[in-house]
Amino acid sequence: MSDNPKRAIPTEEAEAMLQCLRSLVQTEPKGFHHPHMKAISDPFGAALSALEKFHVPAATDGTSESVGGGRDFSSKPSDTEQRESEEKLMEFEQQTWDLYQLEGPLDHTRLLEECKVRAQRGDHEAERRLEVLDTFHDTRRQIRAHRWKLPPNHLEWQDLPEVTPDPRVQATLGPHLWALLIGNNNYPQSPLKGSVNDSLAWKSYLIEFLGVPESHITHIQDANRKTMVTALYDLRDNGEIKEGDHILFAYAGHGASYDAKRYSFENDIGHRAGSIEALCPVDRGLHDGGGTPDISDREVLLILSEIHDQTKVDVTVVLDCCHSGGGVRELGVDLRHRSFEPLIDPEVVHQMFVEADKHPRRRPSTISVRSPTWASDTADIYRPVLLAACQDTELAWEEPEHGLFTAAQLGP
């Protein structure tokens, strides 16, 4: 990356590029077929059933009565019926988005989180809406897990005018920026090719274009769990970081997603909806006196919250990884996506949360990752600025040399 000229990307072209990336990860293949997977016969059936249940008024005797117009779930739906089912569910999402007066275009992940918070407050209608939204969320994750064919519209990078570093930015921002850069390629199963290059690209950009001193940058390649967590705590305990500084945490590698219904510590829908995302160290699942767990998003958020509480700095997180299980598969044009199936050993998954709470450097005053209120609006948790390659129902792709998300930001 350091040998390539940096190029300015006009706003219009950047938006078009990101839209192209989004179409790459969202486009439906012609069928949910994989030689090693069972096809989804009725992908929207459960979500549509939950939607119809939401619209069914409870009778005085405690039974429910159909409002009519329901679909016959006894047979496999046609393609037209599947499209109509998805449209009904998306319409329900939009109605809920408007009801909650959320700004901007519909973001189904943000909507799910907002509905979870309302349900945790005891809002009964939000609980009922959350049943529908969460089931639809699960549907998206299942469909995503069954995708394996690359859409035919491949990306073509454009040559843009070369940009020279701005001395004013280097003088004002550079000395006040600190960075933790992690790139993981060397996984025993399904190794990646571009993650280390992504982290090197960030390092080059920070030094050459933003004027960040190299001593302010921690760059780690092929990090195990202990190394990754230690590096985050080292940021917290760095006495040179002062109020008014900025921190960048950029991670490139595999990600995984755990169904909150299976791994939640509470029984109510407000805590069991959605998923628990995780970063994957290179030693995940390896047995050295016990399996090594992933690093949950809860653990990362709480460490970043400790950093902010201590230093009052702003933190930006850049994640070029998938946030859903689904396995990595080689593709004909040498593109692959950065996702792992969640670890299946219940003890290892449980250990993911235990290690977060029992880490020797964790502050006793920090809320537990297993607390029922940790994700609610009453929890005092700092929320960093997040730039993610994809949502938890999408894929993050990489070429042989770089992740597409990183390349779109810094240039291929």
* pLDDT at residue number 140: 77
Give which of 339, 314, 308, 379 is closest to 145, Cα–Cα.
339
Q: Is residue 170 domain-shared with residue 268, that is, in the same domain?
A: yes
Q: Are residues 190 and 90 in the same domain?
A: no
* 0.75 exceeded by pTM: no
Q: Is residue 15 part of a domain?
A: no
Buried b (16+ CB within 10 A) or exposed e, 191-208: ebebbbbbbbbbbbbbbe
- Which pLDDT does position 155 carry in this prediction? 56
Please, is 18 exposed, middle or buried when counting C-beta atoms within 10 Å of its C-beta (0-12, 13-18, 19+)? middle
Mark whether 392 and 247 lie in a shared domain. yes
Count CB atoms within 10 A of the CB of residue 88: 17
Are 125 and 82 within one domain? Answer: yes
* Same domain as 103, residue 54: yes
State the pLDDT at residue 151: 44
Q: Do 190 and 327 fall within a single domain?
A: yes
Are residue 56 and residue 85 in the same domain, yes or no? yes
Q: What is the span of the domain harbouring residue 264?
A: 160-410
In a domain, 237, yes or no: yes
| Dist CA 60 CA 52 (whole Å) | 19
**Residue 321 DSSP symbol:** S
Q: What is the mean pLDDT of each run of 10 residues along the chain (412 residues)?
A: 44 51 38 38 78 68 43 65 85 93 88 85 89 83 55 56 81 93 91 89 93 97 97 96 95 84 57 75 75 90 92 90 40 40 69 91 88 62 75 56 64 62
Look up the CATH number of the domain holding residue 175: 3.40.50.1460
- 18 within domain boundaries: no
- 121 and 246 co-located in one domain: no
Asked if the structure places residue 254 within a domain, the reply is yes
Burial class from Cβ neighbours inside 10 Å (0-12, 13-18, 19+) for residue 412 reads middle
In a shared domain, residues 261 and 171: yes
72 and 186 belong to one structural domain: no
Q: How many CB atoms lie within 10 A of CB 340?
A: 25
Main-chain dihedrals φ then ψ at residue 386, nearest 5 degrees: -120, 125
Rounded distance, CA 75 to CA 103, Å?
39
Cα 104 to Cα 94, 97, 107, 108, 111: the distances in Å are 11, 10, 8, 12, 11
For the stretch 1-43, pLDDT in tens is: 434 444 444 555 555 544 544 443 333 333 323 333 345 567 7
In a domain, 7, yes or no: no
8 A C-beta contact, residue 284 and residue 292? yes
> What is the spatial order of strands in the sheet that 275-279 belongs to?
255-259, 275-279, 295-296
Domains: count for the chain:
2
Domain assignment of residue 155, yes or no = no
In a shared domain, residues 331 and 405: yes
Rounded CA-CA distance 383/308 in Å is: 9
Of 117, 145, 173, the domain-final residue: 145
pLDDT, tens digit, for every residue of 305-324? 999 998 899 999 998 876 53
31 within some domain: no
Q: Which of 120, 145, 170 is the last residue of a domain?
A: 145
Residue 370 lies in a domain: yes
Q: What is the pLDDT of residue 64?
A: 42
The half-sphere exposure of 67 on its side-chain side, counting CA atoms within 13 A, is 9
Q: Do both 263 and 403 map to the same domain?
A: yes
* Domain stops at, among 145, 168, 184: 145
The C-alpha R_g of the chain, in whole angstroms, comes to 22
- Is the separation of the CB atoms in 261 and 118 below 8 Å? no
Structure tokens of 378? Answer: 């009453």
Q: Which of 248, 167, 177 has the alpha carbon at shortest distance from 214?
A: 177
